[in-house]
């Protein structure tokens, strides 16, 4: 049969063709098709994630502020779901069938192969019922979680909250899986990595009936959950609670810093809220209503809001003037109200008195001599140069700088420089006369209460400060050394003595603007401010430190729409200082009056 000899080639070709098709398909299956690998893992391995306990949070004195409480989430891997009694599950969870399907779709839309949260935070009773039925619901399992609990309702802005991770963060950070809880604000967010610890995972092999057959590779790939580290805040919870009480029904902030180490003793932002509101099943609703509230309670005003500082800025002007040599401690300027408005006071003989009386024309003149250096003939060019020199100096006092204090959302404020005004008015189209209100802390300048308190600490220390911070210690680790290193400002110590003299007069001598902060038996140095508010009543400001010679507290109080600084901010500062340094309140009537007063913030 010679004539059919070549047919062996055709037959071989056909066989090879089929073999090649099989090979192509195998390459596709084994190399390219990723979905098969994912489903294989879910198919035969059950990964049981062990969630570590989140770190606890203590105040500076070791008082517990935040702890954990067990909670249970019902998880679902949609791919593993098989037919089951849906009504029974609905009954166990007390949901209706349409709710069931909405939840199911949400899980499926996240992933068919990966677990997602089907029902959050099951109550203890529900859990006990569900646990018995769980074997009937293939694909479902319960994941233990921890919920945050608070020992008191204070410090919501500092502590922050935790919530379910959002999709965006999830995609960026492979550590997390859907439904995981993550810090959303406050130290919970800033110290997320330290607080969360490290998840552990136990891998079990399961057979087709989802029965555990044993541990995978003898536990070679299992990891132990490492608990989160505890945080020790610098906050004094007693002082914090007192501050929040004083600020009740007022809008504003109190920031108290220990000038000896930069530790923030109290960081009050009012209005505040009970942190417990953002825990548990009602978190979503509560969050929405807090977010939409007119008074914006979610904003941490102490670090995120910036205001015109008002008269407290005069001390900064004086420091720059003294350092630049355009001013000496005895310089006299008459109180010329034709330059800028003022209030009646004796003539300011020297810088200290000018601070005591908070004389506006005096600091108008100081700022003018700083801006108009007569280096250039053109006042426009001259002002540009002068303002730049001024800005370079004044930012040394911590203005226009976002401190890394251990909280998210720190606002750096604004010290306008030549570039700023060039943008606003055009180059060489502005001069001192355009910007003179900076001299008395009005106009474009913006400072956060935190910066005000830190500025006060700089004065208290006569020229240096420590990076203000909110966390003293993380777990058993030693303190962050960089927070305890002196940062020197470009001002001579002797200039601060002049300023402090003025602040001493302002509180303790007649005609002082801050006499409401006087504490018998203690030398408090302070300065009032009244920040003009084009939208409503002026803001009331006061910064102070005490005692004068060995300062232990530097404080800034900012009360929105409260009018003259000496009236509201100064007594609040006084009460805070008494609380911290004396641990008792001398004038309980004053305390009562402050707490009961409602100052309605008008936008």
* Residues near other proteins, by CB under 8 A: 1, 3-5, 7-8, 10-19, 21-33, 36-37, 39-41, 43-45, 205-208, 213-214, 216
Is the separation of the CB atoms in 299 and 267 below 8 Å?
no
Q: 14 or 224, CB closer to other proteins?
A: 14
Q: 23 or 291, CB closer to other proteins?
A: 23
**Could you tell me the smallest distance in angstroms from the CB atom of residue 176 to other proteins?**
25
**Could you tell me the smallest distance in angstroms from the CB atom of residue 46 to other proteins?**
11
Is the separation of the CB atoms in 465 and 457 below 8 Å?
yes
Give the DSSP letter string of 364-375.
HHHHHHHH--SS
Sheet with 200-206: strands ordered across: 45-50, 200-206, 212-215
Q: 138 or 409, CB closer to other proteins?
A: 138
Q: How far is CA 194 from CA 53, 56, 188, 278, 391, in A?
A: 12, 11, 9, 21, 38
**Could you tell me the smallest distance in angstroms from the CB atom of residue 84 to other proteins?**
14
**Could you tell me the smallest distance in angstroms from the CB atom of residue 213 to other proteins?**
6
**Could you tell me the smallest distance in angstroms from the CB atom of residue 168 to other proteins?**
23
Owner of token pair 């932002």: 269
**Could you tell me the smallest distance in angstroms from the CB atom of residue 78 to other proteins?**
15
Is the separation of the CB atoms in 441 and 531 below 8 Å?
yes
Q: 33 or 166, CB closer to other proteins?
A: 33
Q: 14 or 582, CB closer to other proteins?
A: 14
Q: How far apart are CA 361 and CA 340, in angstroms?
A: 6
- Name the pairing type of β-strands 116-122 and 64-76: antiparallel
Q: 25 or 427, CB closer to other proteins?
A: 25
Structure tokens belonging to residue 2: 């010679």
Q: How far apart are CA 407 and CA 156, in angstroms?
A: 12
**Could you tell me the smallest distance in angstroms from the CB atom of residue 221 to other proteins?**
12
Find the Cα–Cα–Cα–Cα dihedral 108, 112, 118, 124, rounded to 10°: 170
Is the separation of the CB atoms in 53 and 68 below 8 Å?
yes
Check residue 325 and give left, alpha or beta (phi > 0: left; psi -120 to 50: alpha).
Answer: left
**Could you tell me the smallest distance in angstroms from the CB atom of residue 237 to other proteins?**
52
Q: 30 or 193, CB closer to other proteins?
A: 30
Q: How far apart are CA 134 and CA 248, in angstroms?
A: 48
**Could you tell me the smallest distance in angstroms from the CB atom of residue 42 to other proteins?**
10
**Could you tell me the smallest distance in angstroms from the CB atom of residue 137 to other proteins?**
17
Residue 403 neighbours by CB under 8 Å, 6+ apart: 410, 450, 451, 454, 467, 468
Q: How far is CA 265 from CA 57, 221, 430, 470, in A?
A: 15, 45, 42, 8
Q: 44 or 532, CB closer to other proteins?
A: 44
Q: 124 or 208, CB closer to other proteins?
A: 208
Q: 214 or 284, CB closer to other proteins?
A: 214
């Amino acid at each position: 049969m010679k004539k059919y000899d070549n047919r062996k080639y055709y037959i071989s070709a056909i066989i090879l063709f089929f073999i090649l098709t099989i090979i192509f398909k195998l390459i596709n299956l084994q190399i390219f098709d990723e979905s098969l690998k994912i489903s294989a893992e879910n198919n035969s391995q059950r990964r049981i994630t062990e969630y570590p306990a989140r770190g606890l949070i203590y105040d500076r004195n070791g008082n517990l502020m935040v702890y954990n409480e067990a909670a249970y989430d019902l998880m679902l891997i949609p791919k593993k779901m098989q037919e089951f009694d849906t009504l029974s599950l609905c009954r166990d969870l007390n949901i209706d069938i349409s709710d069931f399907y909405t939840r199911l779709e949400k899980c499926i839309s996240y992933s068919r192969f990966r677990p997602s949260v089907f029902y959050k935070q099951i109550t203890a009773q529900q859990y006990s019922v569900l646990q018995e039925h769980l074997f009937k619901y293939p694909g479902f399992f319960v994941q233990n979680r921890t919920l945050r609990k608070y020992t008191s309702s204070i410090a919501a802005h500092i502590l922050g909250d935790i919530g379910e991770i959002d999709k965006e963060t999830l995609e960026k950070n492979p550590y997390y899986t859907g439904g995981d809880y993550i810090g959303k604000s406050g130290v919970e967010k800033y110290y997320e990595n330290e607080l969360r610890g490290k998840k552990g995972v136990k891998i079990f092999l399961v057979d087709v009936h989802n029965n555990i057959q044993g541990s995978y590779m003898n536990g070679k790939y299992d990891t132990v959950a490492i608990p989160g580290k505890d945080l020790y805040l610098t906050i004094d919870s007693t002082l914090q609670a007192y501050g929040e009480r004083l600020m009740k029904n007022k809008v504003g902030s109190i920031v108290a810093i220990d000038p000896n180490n930069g530790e923030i003793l109290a960081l009050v932002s009012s209005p505040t809220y009970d942190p417990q509101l953002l825990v548990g099943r009602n978190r979503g609703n509560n969050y929405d209503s807090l977010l939409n509230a007119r008074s914006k309670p979610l904003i941490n005003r102490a670090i995120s809001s910036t205001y015109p500082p008002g008269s407290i800025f005069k001390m900064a002007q004086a420091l720059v003037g003294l350092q630049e040599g355009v001013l000496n401690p005895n310089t006299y300027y008459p109180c010329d109200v034709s330059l800028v408005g003022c209030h009646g006071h004796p003539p300011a003989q020297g810088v200290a008195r000018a601070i005591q009386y908070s004389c506006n024309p005096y600091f108008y003149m100081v700022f003018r001599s700083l801006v108009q250096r007569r280096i250039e003939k053109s006042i426009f060019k001259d002002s540009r140069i002068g303002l730049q020199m001024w800005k370079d100096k004044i930012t040394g006092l911590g203005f226009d700088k976002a401190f890394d204090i251990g909280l998210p959302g720190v606002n750096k404020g604004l010290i306008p420089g030549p570039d700023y005004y060039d943008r606003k008015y055009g180059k060489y189209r502005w001069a001192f006369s355009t910007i003179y209100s900076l001299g008395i802390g009005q106009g474009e300048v913006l400072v956060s209460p935190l910066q005000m308190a830190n500025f006060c600490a700089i004065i208290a220390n006569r020229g240096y400060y420590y990076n203000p911070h909110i966390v003293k210690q993380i777990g058993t680790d030693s303190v962050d050394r960089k927070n305890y290193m002196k940062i020197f400002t470009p001002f001579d110590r002797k200039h601060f003595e002049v300023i402090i003299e003025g602040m001493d007069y302002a509180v303790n001598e007649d005609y002082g603007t801050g006499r409401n902060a006087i504490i018998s038996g203690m030398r408090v140095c302070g300065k009032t401010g009244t920040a003009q508010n084009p939208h409503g009543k002026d803001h009331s400001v006061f910064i102070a430190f005490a005692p004068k010679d060995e300062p232990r507290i530097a404080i800034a109080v900012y009360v929105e729409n409260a009018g003259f600084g000496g009236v509201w901010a100064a007594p609040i500062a006084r009460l805070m200082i008494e609380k911290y340094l004396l641990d008792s309140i001398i004038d309980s009537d004053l305390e009562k009056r402050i707490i009961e007063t409602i100052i309605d913030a008008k936008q």
